[in-house]
Structure formats: structure tokens, C-alpha cells
Amino acid sequence: MAGLIGFGRIAAPRIYRHGLAVSKRSMFTSANRFGDEKPPKDLDMASMAKKVDPREAAAKKAAEEATKKALAAKKARDEAALSSEAAAKKAAEEAGAKTAALEAAAKKAAAEVAAKKAAEEAAAKKAAEEAAAKKAVAEEAAKRAAEEVAAKKAAAEAAAKKAAEEATAKKTAAEAAAKKAAEEEATRKAAEEVAAKKAAAEATAKKAAEEASAKKAAEEAAAKKAAEVAATKKAAEEAAAKKAAEDAAAKKVAEEAAAKKAAEEAAAKKAAEEAAAKKAAEEAASKKAAEEAAAKKAAEEAAAKKVAAEEAAAKRAADEEAVRTMQDPIQSLFLASIRSSGGAGGLNNASAEVKAELEAELERLAKQYGGKSGENMTEFPKLEYKDPEVDPINISQ
């Protein structure tokens, strides 16, 4: 579009000067052919190439055509006068001259019509080209101005938006970092609590098992010791009875027999009692061991169930937390880049150079777009509409 406009600007003056020279040349030719005056020999070509207003050229052309017509009428009158004075003498010559004049007039009229039409077409074409060139230039200028205004506005909006987005991103990054640290701390604390509970349960179960084992060993040792004491006592009693029986054998055979029988019966009864006591002790020990084993097994099963439930709850909580804190790769890369660039704390923790640069940029935007000094250009303007005062209407008046 700019190339066409430039070509129009260069070619329009040349086309105009060429058409003007052709029209002037045709005017001078017509005037020389049908006028009494001779054309000037030293025609100024620079004046022909000079730019002329189309309206002035048209008016000049009309004046020249009127002059030509007046000259033609004068010539016709002169010829008619000469013809009336020498009508008898030159009738044939006058008829021929008249015919030639009519033919010349017809040719002249045709040439004038053609020249006038060509001049009008050239003038119309030139005017159209000039109007098109002016319109194109105006449209291009308006378009360029609109684009510059739009570019400035878009740049200002982009700068303000970028500043707001950077502030929001920094604030979001700081909040996300704090939230993630809190969540990591809570997760670590929960894991430590679960591990402590699990260790405590394992220590309690181990201690209970050791106590049961020690208790069972003590009971077995006591039972064994009681059996040994009973056997030793029985052996001593048997020896004493045997010695007493032998001492009394010489004195009283019947008493010995009776004593021997009584001793045997007593020994049998005692052995039966000891066996019954031993059997009862063993049954009680077995029953107690079975009860302790059942209690230990129930405690271990309860502890295992509790640990499994706690581990399942912790795993479910960890899965839910992982799903809740799940992030897409782009967001992760963005947060990683923010963390790697340094600590995020928003504009409040920014350096003095950054704050000064931000203030200078906002001040420039305020001046550029009509804001007041110190006005916050990142906030939406407050619009206030006041209702006009209306005189009250009294119907009774």
C-alpha cells in the first residue's frame, strides 16, 4: 500500500503536466488555425509545465473556445459581406468557400469536441487520482495514528498487567512455599507419631512376652523344687519308718507288722496325696499357661490390628494429601524456577532498586495516560455518578 501511494505521488504531477501541455498545445493549434492573430514564437515551455488548477484551466479553455467561436462568426460575417458585394462575380467561388468553411467548421467542431472530451476525461482522471491519493494518505495516516495509540495503550496495559501478575505470582509462590512447608512439617510429625506409637506397641508386646516367659519359667522351677522337696521328705520319712520298724522288730513282731502296715498305708496315702497335689499343680500351671498364651495371643492380635489400622489410616491420609497437593509439570517447573531464583517475599521484601524502578514506571504510566501524581494505576478507577437536581412538581398549583 505504501509503495502504491509513493508511486501515485511521483507519477501524478508528471501525468498532470503532460495533460496540461497537450491541452495547451491543442488550444494554441486551434487558435492559430482559426484566429487572425499569429501564435507567439517564443512560447514559454516552463509556464506550460507549471501546475494549474483544473477549474482555472477549464475556465480558460471555455474562454478560448468562446473567442474561437467569435472569430469564426466574424470571419463568416466578413465572408458573407464579401459574398454579397461580389455575388454576381464570384457565386461559384463563394459556394466553394462556403462549402469549405462548413467542412472546416465541422472538422473544427469535431476536433473541439474530442479535445474537450479528452481534457475532461484527463481532468476527471487526475482529480480521481488526486482524491484517491489524498484519501489513501489520510487513511494511512489515520491507521498509523490508531495503531500507535493502540500500541501505546496495549503496552501500558501489558506493563500494568505484568507488574500485577509478577506481584501475584510472587505472593502465590510465597503462600505455596509456606503451605508446603507446613504440610511437610505436619506429615513429618504425623509419621513420627505413628512410628512412636508403633515402637511403643512393639515394646509393650515384647515386655508382656518377656514377663510371661519369666513367669512361666519361675512357675516351672517352683513346681520342680516342690517335687524334689516332697521326694526328699518322703525318702527321709521312709528311712525313719524303716529304722523304727527294725528297732521294734525284735521287741514286738506284731507291733512291727502293724506299724509296718500302718506305715505303708500312710506312705501310700501320702504318696497319693502328693501325686494328687502334683497333678493339680500341673493342671493349674497348664491352665494358667494356656490362659496367659491366649491373653498374649489376643494382645498381639489386637496390637497387630491396631498397627495395621494406623498404617492404613496413615497411608490413606498420605495418598489423600498427595492427591490434594498434586501439581502439573508446568506448574512444578514454574515453582522450581521461582525457588531457584531466590527467596520469594513479594514486593515488600524487594530491593530498593526494584521498588524505585516500579515507582518510576507507575509514575510514567500515570503521566502518559492522564493520571494524577501519586495515583495507583493498577487499581480500577472509581466512578461516581451524581443525580441531577430536579425541581419538585406541585400538582395543586
d(CA 79, CA 101): 10
**CB of 259 within 8 A of CB of 244?**
yes
Closest CA to 368 of 204, 152, 180, 212: 152
| Distances, alpha carbon 17 to alpha carbons 21, 48, 133, 153, 220, in Å | 6, 8, 17, 45, 139
Q: How far is CA 206 from the centre of its chain?
A: 58
CA 347 to chain centre: 21
Residue-level pLDDT at 307 = 92
Q: How many C-beta atoms surround the C-beta of residue 19 within 10 A?
A: 19
* Three cell numbers written together for 51: 501546475
Global pTM reads 0.20
The pLDDT value recorded for residue 17 is 64
Residue 176 has what pLDDT?
78
Report angle CA 330, 335, 338 to the nearest 5 degrees. 125
Helices 91-249 & 253-324 angle (0-180, nearest 10): 170
pLDDT in tens, the chain (397 residues): 455 555 555 655 565 565 655 455 554 444 445 444 554 555 455 555 456 678 888 888 899 999 999 999 888 888 887 877 777 677 668 767 788 888 888 888 888 888 888 888 888 888 888 888 888 898 888 888 888 888 888 887 888 788 778 878 888 877 877 788 778 887 888 778 877 788 777 877 788 778 877 787 778 877 788 778 877 888 778 877 788 768 766 778 878 877 788 888 888 888 889 888 888 889 988 888 889 988 899 999 999 999 999 999 998 888 888 767 776 788 888 888 777 665 555 667 778 898 899 888 888 888 888 877 777 778 888 888 888 888 888 777 6
Q: What is the CA radius of gyration of the chain?
A: 67
What is the C-alpha to C-alpha distance for residues 101 and 89, in angstroms, rounded to an integer?
A: 19
Domain ranges for the chain, please list them: 2-158, 159-340
Residue 354 in contact with residue 163, Cβ under 8 Å?
A: no
Backbone angles phi and psi of 105, in degrees to 5: -65, -40
Classify residue 347 by its DSSP letter.
G
Rounded CA-CA distance 235/213 in Å is: 33
Query: In this structure, what C-alpha cell is assigned to residue 160?
Result: 500494568
Question: CA 159 to CA 151: how far, in whole Å?
Answer: 12
Residue 199, classed as helix, strand or coil, is helix
For 386, which DSSP code?
Answer: -
216 near 292, Cβ under 8 Å? yes
Residues in the chain: 397
101-129 CB burial, b ≥16 within 10 A, e <16: beeeeeebeeebeebbeebeebbeebeee
Distance between terminal CA atoms of the chain? Answer: 70
Q: 19 and 126 in contact (C-beta within 8 Å)?
A: yes
Which of 195, 173, 143 is closest to 327 using CA atoms? Answer: 173
Q: Distance between alpha carbon 372 and the CA centroid of its chain, in Å?
A: 31
pLDDT at 30: 47
Residues in Cβ contact with 272 at an 8 Å cutoff, skipping those fewer than 6 apart? none
| pLDDT, position 71 | 92
pLDDT in tens, 125-170: 888 888 888 888 988 888 888 888 888 888 878 887 887 788 788 8
Return the pLDDT at 232: 80
CA dihedral 242, 243, 246, 252 (to 10 degrees): -90
